[in-house]
Structures are given as structure tokens and as C-alpha cells.
Structure 1
Amino acid sequence: MTQSGLAQLVLVTGPSGAGRSTAINTLEDLGFEAIDNLPLRLVPRLLEGPGPDRPLALGIDARNRDFSASGLVTLIDDLAGRQGLDLSVLYLDCRSDVLLRRYSETRRRHPLAPAESTEAGVARELDLLAKVRERADTLLDTSDMNVHELRAEIERGFAPDQGGRLAVTVCSFSYKRGLPRSNDMVFDCRFLKNPYWEPALRPLDGRHPEVDAYIATDPRRAPFFDRVLDLVRLLLPAYAEEGKSHLSIAFGCTGGQHRSVALAQSLAKALAEDGQQVSIRHRELEGRTKDET
């Protein structure tokens, strides 16, 4: 049960290979009663009678015996209007190229294309789940996450002991590798002075004091950061009041090594000093390459 007395239900879905099993196992470790691959027709019957004593997590995807996207959308809409139930839809998203790589590594056949190519199965499932994705309350793109990072994201968003607090993740990324799809707010800092063009700073990253000091010499840095911080401080209470459990904020630059990292570090530090529950993630540094910044 949630603090409001409502029965808590998390529906976990997304394309095969995106990490649904990891998410279900993590929620079970957090105290949820977890059930995977429950037929859709049995979900309403499961919720009949008194509410469960602990939060419930249900794993549903295209491998369910009676699965249909329209059926799942209808179920979500029906449950969203049910009194006494706090419903959250967790959708684990993933790029098609990463799904293909994961299937190649496991050498498994795709459940929607047992006699066809994996590419056909992945494309078919992503198209099938498009309407379900639109119903997501929490959208996590696992393309660049390992198992441990995914577990950490689930824990931040759904740990029962959070007491309703809004968890904030601040991320840095490279525009050369594409915009993160699972972030709520994205700020482009490519207009700032680029430490890459300073030979002594090039091998360092935005966590280094010298890099941060160099970026701070740009007269636009301070007013830009101050306005971002003011905006975030304005919005956090509103998101918390709305019942949002997790907010992702991202800074992007050319290569995700210097400017975006420095700004992400500064914002995370400021929010932590405000007493916010903050985690930080540097996408490009986690799998660091020699790409230019």
C-alpha cells in the first residue's frame, strides 16, 4: 500500500531484450510482489477483493500467452480509472540496433519471429508496442545501460522507502551519439567555450577543476547555469506534487566529455545541497572513447 492508502501496481513492459526481467527482479528485491508473464485476462481478477499487503509488479510483454497491444492499452486505461489503485506503467525502451546486438550475443530467436530474421521480429515488436509506449508513466531507455545501471534507475524510481520523494538524475551526453530519449529536460551547452581546443585540457574531462575553471571564464556560463538552476528549483516541487517519482535532466555537448559533464556536476551538487535526492550519470565517460569533445 502507498502512503495515501492506495494499492500500488506497477506494470512493467517494453520490447523483448530491453531489460524487463531485470526490472521485475529489482522490484521484487525492493519488496514488491512480482509476477511475470501473467495473461492479460487474469490481471483484473488478480486485483479483485481487498488490496494487496505490499506493492505489486506485473511483467507483461509480447511473449504473454494472450498478449495484444490493444488489449494492454485497454487494460491500462481501465486500471487507471479504478478507485483505490495507484497505477504506474514502466516502459523499458531500447534502440533496435542494441536489441539486435543483445539477441546476437544470446543467440536466441526473437519470440515474434521464430522462423524469420531477428531484425523482422524486433521491427514487428517495436511497431506493435508503439501505442503502449505512449501510455508510459516512466520511460527508461536502456540502450546504454548495463544491468547494474538499470537496477540503480529502478531503485531510484521505485524504492518503497523513498517516502514519496522525487528522485532526480542528472546526465551528460554527446550529441554525436544522439539525444537521450528518456530524459525529461535537456539543455544544450555547445555554445560555451570548448576545453577540447586547449591541449592541456583535452585529455581531462569536466570533473577536473581546471576544465570547470576554463568553462567558467565564458561570460555566458554563469547566467546560463543560474537560469537552469532557477528553472529546476521552480519545477521540482510542482513535479513532486503531481506525484512524479523520478525526473531526468540532461546536458549535452559535442562529445560529452567536457562542457556537459561540468554543467551536470554543478547542477547535481547544487541540488544535493538543496537536500534533493540526486544521482549523476555521464553517458560517454562510462564507456569512454577517444571521441573529440
Structure 2
Amino acid sequence: MELVLISGLSGSGKSVALNLLEDAGFYCVDNLPVVMLTVLIDMLRQEKISKVAVGIDARSGDGIELLPERLRQLEKNGVRYSFLFLQAGEETLIKRYSESRRRHPLTTESRTLEEAIRRESELLAPLAELGHRIDTSDLKANALRDWVRQFISGTGEGGLTLLFQSFGFKHGLPLDVDLVFDVRCLPNPFYDLALRPLTGRDAPVIAFLEASPDVLRMRRDIARFVADWLPSYVRDNRSYLTVGIGCTGGQHRSVYLAETLCREFAGQAPRVLVRHRGLA
């Protein structure tokens, strides 16, 4: 069975992810109580259903703390799973709820929207460490669909996925990175008017950056650090390691380094991916 678990904060895009999985042929169940997880999977295995996606969040009741134990049970029973946790910044969630005029599931007469978001973050914090995290704060729905599609394309392969993610510090630090490298000290193509509208994928920007010894040195240093510590993350049984590379705007320097590092590490992990938050 191919099992994908979707969790995360309300308003972070779980419905978008589950709808995509349903379109991809998964049997989807949302808002499942954790205590029912093993029962559901046993039933679906008997029915020979091979692709299943389950949404678990704060609406699932007080049994959330039981999830790690239920997942261990599934593994003992030969069920391999992938876990995707979606999150977003508090300001983003408040804005989304204000625009949609929907009610947060944890709001009450005595609990404001802000308090409900913080309470949910506290409840779900232990789950964020169970799998791969995606920060949807600055993502449009189409970009999130692409990232989820990329995630499920590797389900069932096993091993660690190494992800290089570029971003711009002016938009805030992503919530879903494990390691962060700040490359704002490098020469900036933004100040060349001919290069400003381009990105780190374009040949003129690449030539500009590779003409700088500091850029090449930074690339070597990041590559050496990741290569030295990658075996330790593999031994820790991680499914994903996300390496964030940030410049000011997330258009040039970080994009170039993420792309080149992705190519350099190809073959050194079961899957090596690249994402660009500033270009999404």
C-alpha cells in the first residue's frame, strides 16, 4: 500500500494537497481520528486499495499524541508511509481566514482567531517532526500543487531526499528548512541593470557569479559541509533534508547556488531536488 499522511495547520493548504492526491488516484479520508488510523488501513488493505491519503489535524480530537505509536504499528505490519506537514506563518493564516471569512476549527466564544492559531500550532508541533515540512506562506495554490506532486512522486522509494531550496531573506526565513546558508555577502547581480530582470538560471547571471572567486568558494564550502554531514542525517533515518540558501530577494545568487548544488549532489542521495521559493 502507498500511504500518504497529510497534516498541518488549518489554512495552510491541506485541502489543496488532498484534492491533488484524489485527482492522482488516491483514496482520500480527511479529518480521521488518530485512534481509527490502523483500523482504516487494515480495512482498506483487505479491500485491495493500494493508494491511500489520510488527513490528520487538530480537528481529529485529543488522540493526536497517539500518532507516533500508531505509525510504528503500521510499520510493524509492513505498511510504508510518507508524512507531509504543511505550515504557514501566523500573519499569513490570519490574512487567509480574514479573506475567506471561514471559521477556524479551534475558535470559540472565548478564543480569538490569533489564539486559536497559536493553540493549534502548539498541539501539532510534535507532528511537524514526523515527516517533510512545506511552508506555504508565500506559495500560490499552483506552486503548492507542484511541490506536493513532486513529494508524492518519490513515495515508496525509501531513503533520504536531499532538497536544495532558494529563498529571499526579505520575505522572511522559511519555516521548512533544516539547514540555512546566508549568501547575501556575495556580489549581487541585482545592481547590474541588464541582469536585474534575470534569475540565477540564466546564462548571463551564471557567468557574472562564476567570475567571482568568493561565489565559487562559497559553493565549495556549502558542498563540503553538506557532504560531510549527509551520512549523519541518513543514519538518523530522515526522509528529507532541506538545505535553505538565502540571498536578499531570492532571484539570483541563491537560485544559482541551489541549482548548481543540486546538480553536484545528484546520485549522492536516493533523490536530490531543487525548489525556488522566490520564483514560485
TM norm structure 1 = 0.78
Name 1:228's counterpart in structure 2.
222
Tell me how far apart the structure 2 counterparts of residues 146 and 279 of structure 1 sit (CA, whole Å): 20
The partner residue of 1:268 within 247, 262, 274 is 262
> Which residue of structure 2 lines up, in the alignment, with residue 61 of structure 1?
57
1:255 maps onto 2:249 in alignment:
yes
Over 3 Å counting, the alpha-carbon distance change for 1:76 and 1:10 in structure 2 is farther
Tell me the distance in 1 between the aligned counterparts of 2:149 and 2:235: 20
Runs of 5+ consecutive residues of structure 1 not aligned to the other structure = 2-7, 287-293
Q: What SS does the aligned partner of 2:195 have?
A: coil
Query: For the aligned residues, what is the CA RMSD?
Result: 3.2
Equivalent in the alignment of 1:138: 132
* 1:16 corresponds to: 10
CA contact under 8 A between 1:170 and 1:281: conserved in structure 2? yes
Matched pairs, number: 275
Query: Which residue matches 2:124?
Result: 129
Corresponding residue of 2:204: 210
> Residue 79 of structure 1 aligns with which residue?
71
Q: Which amino acid aligns with 1:208?
A: D
Offset at 1:158? 1.9
Matches within 5 A, 1:27-176: 27-48=21-42, 51=45, 53=48, 54-64=50-60, 67-68=61-62, 71-82=63-74, 83-84=76-77, 85-115=79-109, 117-134=112-129, 136-159=130-153, 163-164=157-158, 167-176=161-170
What's the offset of the Cα at 1:233? 5.6
Distance in structure 1 (CA, Å) of the matches to 2:236 and 2:19:
27
Amino acid at match of 2:106: L
CA contact (8 A) 2:88 2:175 kept: no
1:26/1:234 Cα in 2 relative to 1: closer, same or farther (>3 Å)?
Answer: farther
- The change in CA–CA distance for 1:167 and 1:78 in structure 2 (over 3 A counts) is closer
CA distance in 2, matches of 1:152, 1:177: 21
Looking at structure 2, the residues matched to 30 and 246 of structure 1 have their Cα atoms a distance apart, in angstroms, of 22
Structure 2 residue runs without a partner (length 5+): none
**Taking structure 1 as reference, are residues 217 and 36 closer, same or farther at Cα in structure 2, changes over 3 Å only?**
same
Conservation of the 8 A alpha-carbon contact between 1:157 and 1:246: no
What is the letter of the counterpart of residue 182 of structure 2?
A: D
Q: CA deviation at 1:49?
A: 6.6
Shift of 1:97: 0.8
The alpha carbon displacement at 1:32 in A equals 2.9
Q: In the TM superposition, what is the alpha-carbon distance from 1:72 to its structure 2 partner? A: 1.3
TM-superposed deviation, 1:16:
0.9
Deviations, residues 212-266 of structure 1 (Å, cap 9, x unaligned): 2222222122233234345556666876787655443321112223211221232
Q: Which amino acid counterpart does residue 276 of structure 2 have in structure 1?
A: H
Secondary structure of the structure 1 residue equivalent to 2:84: strand
Query: Contact conserved, 2:161 with 2:269, CA < 8 A, in 1?
Result: no
2:187 counterpart residue number: 193
Verify the 8 A CA contact 1:156 1:167 in the aligned structure 2.
no
1:198/1:51 Cα in 2 relative to 1: closer, same or farther (>3 Å)?
Answer: same
Q: Which amino acid aligns with 1:113?
A: T
Deviation at 1:182, TM superposition (A): 1.0
Letter in 2 for 1:61: D
Asked if the contact 1:80–1:87 (Cα under 8 Å) also holds between the matched residues in 2, the reply is no
Deviation at 1:274, TM superposition (A): 8.3
